[in-house]
Amino acid sequence: MQYELAYGKSTVNFTLPDSIRPLTIRTNSKKGLADPVGETRKALQNPAGTPPLLEMLRAKNPKTVVIVVNDITRPTPYDVIFPPMLEIFAQAGIKDEQVTLIIATGIHDPHTDAQNREVYGEEIVRRFKIVNHDGLDESNLVKLGVFKSGYEFIMNRMAVEADFLITLGVVMPHYFAGYSGGRKSVLPGLVAKETVEKNHARMVELMDYLPPIDENPVSNEMIEAARQAGVDFILNVVTNESREVVHVAAGEVHAAWRKAVDVSASMYEVPFDRQVDIAVTCASGRPRDINVYQAQKGLDHADRITRPGGAIILAAECPEKWAEATFEDWIRRRWEPAKVMREIKANFVLGGHKAYGFAKVAAEKEVYLVSTLTEDESSLIWAKKAATVQEAVDKLLAEYGPDATWAYLPDGSLALPVQRG
Q: What angle do helix axes 78-92 and 53-60 make, rounded to 10 degrees? A: 40
Which helix H or strand E contains 67, and what residues bound it? strand 65-69
The CATH architecture that domain 36-267 belongs to is: 3-Layer(aba) Sandwich (3.40)
pLDDT tens digit sequence for 142-161: 999 999 999 999 999 999 99
State residue 306's pLDDT score.
98
Peptide bond into 287 cis (omega under 30): yes
Q: Name the pLDDT band for 304 (thresholds 50, 70, 90).
A: very high
Alpha helices by DSSP H, 128-185: 157-161
- What superfamily in CATH does domain 2-27+273-419 come from? LarA, C-terminal domain (3.90.226.30)
pLDDT at 267 over 90: yes
Q: Name the pLDDT band for 201 (thresholds 50, 70, 90).
A: confident
pLDDT at 323 over 90: no
- Residue 314 CA, chain-centre distance (Å), reads 18
Share of the chain above pLDDT 70, in %: 100
pTM here is 0.86
State residue 332's pLDDT score.
97
Q: Name the pLDDT band for 202 (thresholds 50, 70, 90).
A: confident
Q: State the average pLDDT for the chain.
A: 95
Distances (CA, A) of 59 to 54, 93, 295, 394: 9, 12, 44, 65
Amino acid at 375: E
Q: Name the pLDDT band for 91 (thresholds 50, 70, 90).
A: very high
pLDDT at 90 over 80: yes
28-32 average pLDDT score: 93
- Burial status of residue 273 (CB atoms within 10 A of its CB: 0-12, 13-18, 19 or more): exposed
- Domain ranges across the chain: 2-27+273-419, 36-267
- Burial status of residue 359 (CB atoms within 10 A of its CB: 0-12, 13-18, 19 or more): buried
pLDDT at 350 over 90: no
Q: Name the pLDDT band for 302 (thresholds 50, 70, 90).
A: very high
State residue 175's pLDDT score.
82
**CB contact at 8 A, 12 and 5:** yes
Residue from 75, 86, 116 nearest 244 by CA: 75
pLDDT tens digit sequence for 34-49: 999 999 999 999 999 9
E-state strands within 171-323: 173-174, 178-179, 233-239, 245-251, 269-272, 276-282, 306-315
List the single range of 189-193, 208-212, 258-262, 337-341 with lowest mean pLDDT: 208-212
pLDDT tens digit sequence for 374-398: 999 999 999 999 999 999 999 999 9
Residue from 385, 360, 363 nearest 375 by CA: 385
